[in-house]
Amino acid sequence: MAQAIVSLLSPENLDSPHQTLVISPPQEGLALGGELRIPGDKSISHRALMLGAIAQGTTTISGLLLGEDPHSTAKCLRAMGAKISPLNTELVTVEGIGLGNLQEPQDVLDMGNSGTTMRLMLGILASHPDRFFTVTGDASLRSRPMARVVKPLVRMGATIWGRDGNNLAPLAIQGQKLLGLQYRSPIASAQVKSCILLAGLMAEGETTVTEPSLSRDHSERMLRGFGAEVKVDPETHSVTVQGGAVLQGQEVIVPGDISSAAFWLVAGAIVPDADLTILNVGVNPTRTGVLEVLGMMGADIQLLNERTVAGEPVADLRVRSSNLSGCEIAGDLIPRLIDEIPVLAVAATFAKGTTVIRNAEDLRVKESDRLAVTASQLNKMGAKITELPDGLEITGGTELHGAEVDSFTDHRIAMSLAIAALRASSPTTIHRAEAAAISYPDFIPTLQSIIKN
Ligand code: S3P
């Protein structure tokens, strides 16, 4: 029977939305085991809701992520006339209103914490002539750079205003008839690529986005599934769509999110007595950098029951306790594991030797500055992590102790710290742990369910 090693403390006062998580591993060491399911893929969930809303006819979505971010996307789409049934994991129905038919919302569109909602939606909104939109979000989202999508959209003919030279939300958008664009993106970002492709659906002529290396390709796959003409050149990392596409509602089956599986992969590898099987994980090759890196580090991970579900590769992943060694993580790998770097830093702390992460400067403008926060919070627990301008240098083989740490309201930091705490020699208190619900509302019950002693 699992001891109560995980406890979630209620907010200290009724005005506080924040929760504190305390993790107290047993002195004799922890055992993890069993099969578990993870929530639906966040990237695919957003795209299914958005494409469903702008397609003709009905889209059904099963396995949708019920985190706060997809709720933000659904709420905004409903405010513009899309009919979306209450969100659930079984079956969500979206009655599409057709490309170019979103209505002008009566109020500001609040996108909460969700960068994907804001960046992708800007492409859709900017291409709705004669309609006016304002978009905003929470303090984190209002500090994240939007110029990376605003600039190319303006080159397509969009009219967008915002703070800091049209870089920061709140943003105001006057929809326009756009022109196709040949865009060479300076960064490998699926949000940038998807924004421009979505704008291209309504633009005159052809729109091509070329990236320095390949970012996740869920938009390309799903756009094809919905009937758009999408050309991909794998040599140059270019994707082309034709303006005037007609999208037709589809059945979307959302696989489990490998970014959420990553927490259990690392937990299984670093906890000395662990054998976990994570069911139904999306293993799209543009997302499996985490498997490659954990493999390079010596983690015992097996891919079982590999199959394709609704155009996306899926597998079950078995992970067992492993002796890890440090490695280098850089270059083309980075966009394929961008969201997993905080938890990979946890793995590196328990690995022999040094791990160096480079070319990951974009982590500084995620939900928090993930390089600074990962280093500062894990170092409080006894890790030896040095911040680099574009990465982290982690000296492994350190013993962690408990400490008071903070998520900085970043979901992936909250969960990475919880995984580190499983191997700490004393209790760890994680402040603002409620952030996990952005992408993983059941993180704590799932953790409790796999603790075997
Ligand atoms: C996402 C792309 C990535 C990732 C984010 C989701 C997407 O962001 O970090 O969590 O769904 O397109 P960037 O495009 O900024 O790298």
* Number of the ligand 1 atom closest to the C-alpha atom of 192: 14
Q: Which atom of ligand 1 is nearest to the CA of 46?
A: 11
Active-site residue (options: 41, 217, 257, 339): 339
Q: Is 194 in the pocket of ligand 1 (CB under 6 A)?
A: yes
Contact 25, 447 (CB under 8 A): no
Site of tokens 């939300």: 169
* CATH code of the region 5-39+255-452: 3.65.10.10
The CA 382 to ligand 1 mean position distance, Å, reads 30
78 close to 92: Cβ distance less than 8 angstroms:
no
Cα(383)–Cα(386) distance, rounded to whole angstroms?
10
Cα–Cα dist 143/227, whole Å = 36
* CA 410 to centroid of ligand 1, rounded, Å: 14
Would you state the structure tokens that stand for residue 71, as one six-digit string?
């709720």
Asked if residue 145 has a cis previous peptide bond (ω within 30° of 0), the answer is: no
pLDDT attached to residue 4: 57
User: pLDDT truncated to tens, each residue of the chain (453 aa)?
Assistant: 445 588 877 776 667 789 999 999 998 889 999 999 999 999 999 999 999 999 999 999 999 999 999 999 999 999 999 999 999 999 999 999 999 999 999 999 999 999 999 999 999 999 999 999 999 999 999 999 999 999 999 999 999 999 999 999 999 999 999 999 999 999 999 999 999 999 999 999 999 999 999 999 999 999 999 999 999 999 999 999 999 989 999 999 999 999 999 999 999 999 999 999 999 999 999 999 999 999 999 999 999 999 999 989 999 999 999 999 999 999 999 999 999 999 999 999 999 999 999 999 999 999 999 999 999 999 999 999 999 999 999 999 999 999 999 999 999 999 999 999 999 999 999 999 999 999 999 999 999 999 998
Classified by CATH at the fold level, domain 42-253 comes out as UDP-n-acetylglucosamine1-carboxyvinyl-transferase; Chain (3.65.10)
Distance CA 38, CA 440 (A): 8
Q: Is 69 a catalytic residue?
A: no
Give the predicted TM-score (pTM) of the model.
0.97
Q: Is 189 in the pocket of ligand 1 (CB under 6 A)?
A: yes
Q: How far apart are the first and last CA of the chain?
A: 6
Provide the pLDDT for residue 1.
Answer: 42
Quote the CA–CA distance of 214 and 325 in Å, as a whole number: 27
The pLDDT, as a whole number, for residue 6 is 85
Residues near 235 by beta carbon (within 8 Å), at least 6 away in sequence: none
The pLDDT value given to residue 2:
47
Question: 79: which 2 tokens?
Answer: 């405010």
pLDDT at 232: 98
Q: Quickly count: other Cβ atoms within 10 Å of residue 284's Cβ.
A: 20
CA of 191 to the centre of ligand 1 (A): 5
Q: What is the pLDDT of residue 3?
A: 56
Phi, psi of 373 (to 5 degrees): -70, -40
Q: Is 404:380 a contact under the CB 8 Å cutoff?
A: yes
pLDDT at 406: 98
Q: Where in the chain is the domain with CATH 3.65.10.10?
A: 5-39+255-452, 42-253
